């Protein structure tokens, strides 16, 4: 299998955006790094440099945090009414929708993903979370709580709670859904009245910078959202331990999540984490097998497997194992690889040379450990960081490819006989982000759903995300939830006020 690597055309709007200097948004101004340093951003479909971006470091993070502190403590974000904040946040969603094509194109050239898919999923979901969260601004309410205090006889109390914005939030995001991860983080923090310093991933800084321009156009005041580009070990680490930051919200690997917790422990900052996964996808013999085969292929190959919720461990009931696994392998072989800007491409490259090396390392490791690739199994010759969609069989539960998150288009398929066995295998993981179940038996579906240790369980579907639905992990897949009403907790403190009447 070879990737189609004809040079895709870049639109004039995106060409102009790429040609302009790529600076950071700090206190309402676009600034270069204090050090004057920049780093290169590459198109992973070709390996070509497409932009140079400011390499923010500790000093720049410090300036951004001070701006956010000032914007929180002095105003104007906290001083606005919820309705005023809501209108601005809603407008961000409108502007994202207005520039859908441009944002999808930037995402495609920076991350490698299909522009067609980015237009259908990444960009509309990003717009939607701002508009969903705009609605929450006016609905964040406390409670009155009846007290039963018995050690002060005769005294009556009026007690109520006030949910209050937690303050300055440091947000650190990965490269797999660059615009959407920025939106999932920014929208709820803005809705609760927090101010923000966002550190974007070095691999994919571009769409967040365009989003920064749209935030300004929507009317977000200076200092309320600051966007820093730079490296994790420098800019990210400085943000995670900055003493003026009240809370850190992180999405990325479990390994770096643990570093964030250590950095935040210094002054006990609040922390929420969306981390890795190795999600089981279970096909029972009574499932609609055509639907399940297509669903299982999408569950792993969507976004090139670079998805934290990817259905990367496929468990198939013995009686239908051969039929299903051959079906998934046939789908894998039929996927057309190519640059994301080519509308005919069904799967783009890995995001970077490093990620390409990591994934091909796992392909070699899988073979060494005795697994057999029923489809794919190899890297594709460059240019571009392409990998064949791969289905491994003959696996055992101790193999690295079964235990570790690969974050590429690689699925392991394992047969099972009974439900106890599949529940045990599915839950045999450090992770607990998501799980899939395919069956026509609603009783089995709900019974299994209750037994799986996962923050999201999809039945006869997979990777269904909605702004109203909480998403997050059990076990080492994270702390806290993104989206829905649940995410508001990440950004609020609860104050109890008690009045003696
Ligand atoms: P990563 O290496 O953990 O990086 C994530 C972010 O953290 C990047 O912005 C990175 O900066 C930054 N970072 C790295 N080291 C840091 C440090 N010492 N202190 C502070 N920040 C630091 O993960 P990735 O390779 O970008 O993304 C893939 C991983 O993210 C996968 O494991 C995947 O499962 C997980 N993920 C989870 C979810 C979810 O919702 N649960 C969503 C997406 C991805 P630089 O990259 O700029 O150096
Ligand atoms: Mg990195």
For the chain, 501 residues long, give each residue's pLDDT as a single digit of tens. Answer: 444 434 458 999 999 999 999 999 999 999 999 999 999 999 999 999 999 999 999 999 999 999 999 999 998 999 999 999 999 999 999 999 999 999 999 999 999 999 999 999 999 999 999 999 999 999 999 999 999 998 888 999 999 999 999 999 999 999 999 999 999 999 999 999 999 999 999 999 999 999 999 999 999 999 999 999 999 999 999 999 999 999 999 999 999 999 999 999 999 999 999 999 999 999 999 999 999 999 999 999 999 999 999 999 999 999 999 999 999 999 999 999 999 999 999 999 999 999 999 999 999 999 999 999 999 999 999 899 999 999 999 999 999 999 999 999 999 999 999 999 999 999 999 999 999 999 999 999 999 999 999 999 999 999 999 999 999 999 999 999 999 999 999 999 999 999 999
Pocket test for ligand 1, best of 174, 227, 405, 490 (most atoms within 8 A of CB): 174
CB 406 within 8 A of CB 361: no
In this predicted structure, what is the pLDDT of residue 56? Answer: 98
Ligand nearest to the backbone CA of 231? 1
Report how far apart, in Å, the C-alpha atoms of 255 and of each of 258, 409, 477 are: 5, 21, 11
Pocket test for ligand 1, best of 122, 185, 240, 253 (most atoms within 8 A of CB): 253
- In 3-state terms the chain splits into helix, strand, coil percentages (rounded to 5) of 40, 20, 35
Residues in CB range of 432: below 8 A, 6 or more apart: 277, 453, 454, 455, 473, 474, 475, 476, 477
d(CA 252, CA 417): 35
274 flagged as catalytic: yes
Indicate which residue's Cα is closest to atom 11 of ligand 1.
232
Residues in CB range of 162: below 8 A, 6 or more apart: 142, 494, 495, 497
Please identify which of the residues 274, 388, 405, 482 carries the catalytic annotation: 274
Q: Which atom of ligand 1 is nearest to the CA of 200?
A: 9
**Is it true that the peptide bond before 383 is cis, omega within 30 degrees of 0?**
yes
For domain 280-466, the CATH superfamily is Aldehyde Dehydrogenase; Chain A, domain 2 (3.40.309.10)
CB 264 within 8 A of CB 296: no
Token pair 């639907």 is found at 291
Phi-psi region of 262 (alpha: psi -120 to 50; beta: other; left: phi over 0): alpha
Report how far apart, in Å, the C-alpha atoms of 192 and of each of 96, 133, 215 are: 21, 9, 16
* Domain 12-275+478-498 CATH class label: alpha beta
Q: Does the predicted model carry a pTM greater than 0.95?
A: yes
Domain ranges, ordered by start, for the chain: 12-275+478-498, 280-466
CB 173 within 8 A of CB 201: yes
Query: Ligand 1 center to residue 295 CA distance, Å?
Result: 27
Provide the token pair at 1: 């299998």
Query: Strand, helix or coil at 231?
Result: coil
Indicate which residue's Cα is closest to atom 39 of ligand 1.
274
In this predicted structure, what is the pLDDT of residue 5? Answer: 39
CB 415 within 8 A of CB 316: yes
308 flagged as catalytic: yes
In this predicted structure, what is the pLDDT of residue 112? Answer: 97
Indicate which residue's Cα is closest to atom 48 of ligand 1.
232
In this predicted structure, what is the pLDDT of residue 8? Answer: 58
Q: Is the CB of 252 under 6 A from ligand 1?
A: yes
Strand pairing of 434-438 and 431-432? Answer: unpaired
Q: Which atom of ligand 1 is nearest to the CA of 230?
A: 47
């Amino acid at each position: 299998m070879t990737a189609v690597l004809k040079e895709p055309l870049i639109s004039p709007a995106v060409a102009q955006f790429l040609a302009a200097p790529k600076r950071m948004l700090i206190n309402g101004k676009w600034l270069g790094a204090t050090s004057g340093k920049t780093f290169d951003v590459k198109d992973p479909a070709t390996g070509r440099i497409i932009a140079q971006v400011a390499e923010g470091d500790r000093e720049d993070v410090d300036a951004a945090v001070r701006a956010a502190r000032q914007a929180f403590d002095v105003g104007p974000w906290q001083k606005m009414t919820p309705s005023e904040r809501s209108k601005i946040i809603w407008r961000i969603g409108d502007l994202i929708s207005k520039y859908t094509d441009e944002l999808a194109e930037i995402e495609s050239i920076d991350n490698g993903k299909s522009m067609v898919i980015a237009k259908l999923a990444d960009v509309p979901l990003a717009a939607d979370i701002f508009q969903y969260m705009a609605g929450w601004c006016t609905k964040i309410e406390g409670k009155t709580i009846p007290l039963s205090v018995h050690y002060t006889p005769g005294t009556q109390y009026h007690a109520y709670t006030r949910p209050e914005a937690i303050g300055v939030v440091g947000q650190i995001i990965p490269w797999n859904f660059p615009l959407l991860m920025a939106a999932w983080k920014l929208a709820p923090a803005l809705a609760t009245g927090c101010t923000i310093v966002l550190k974007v991933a070095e691999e994919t800084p571009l769409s967040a910078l365009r989003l920064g321009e749209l935030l300004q156009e929507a009317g977000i005041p200076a200092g309320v959202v600051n966007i820093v580009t730079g490296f994790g070990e420098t800019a990210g680490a400085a943000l995670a331990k900055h003493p003026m930051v009240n809370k850190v919200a992180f999405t990325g690997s479990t390994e770096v999540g643990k570093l964030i917790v250590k950095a935040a422990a210094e002054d006990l900052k609040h922390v929420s984490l969306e981390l890795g996964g190795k999600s089981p996808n279970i096909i029972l013999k009574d499932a609609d097998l055509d639907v399940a085969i297509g669903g299982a292929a999408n569950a792993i190959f969507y976004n090139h497997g670079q998805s934290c919720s990817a259905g990367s461990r496929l468990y198939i009931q013995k009686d239908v194992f051969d039929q299903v696994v051959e079906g998934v392998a046939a789908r894998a072989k039929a996927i057309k690889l190519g640059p994301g800007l080519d509308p005919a491409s069904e799967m783009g490259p890995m995001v970077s040379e490093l990620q390409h090396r990591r994934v091909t390392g796992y392909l070699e490791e899988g073979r060494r450990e005795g697994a057999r690739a029923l489809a794919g199994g190899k890297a594709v010759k460059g240019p571009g960081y392409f990998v064949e969609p791969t289905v491994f069989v003959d696996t055992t539960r101790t193999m690295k490819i079964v235990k570790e998150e690969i974050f590429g288009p690689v699925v392991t398929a394992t047969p099972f006989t009974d439900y106890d066995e599949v529940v045990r295998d599915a839950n045999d993981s450090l992770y607990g982000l998501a799980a899939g179940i395919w069956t026509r038996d609603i009783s089995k579906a709900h019974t299994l759903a209750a037994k799986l240790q996962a923050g999201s369980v999809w039945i006869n579907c997979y990777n269904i995300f909605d702004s109203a639905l909480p998403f997050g992990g059990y076990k080492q897949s994270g702390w806290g939830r993104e989206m829905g009403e649940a995410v508001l907790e990440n950004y609020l403190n609860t104050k109890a006020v008690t009045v003696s009447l």
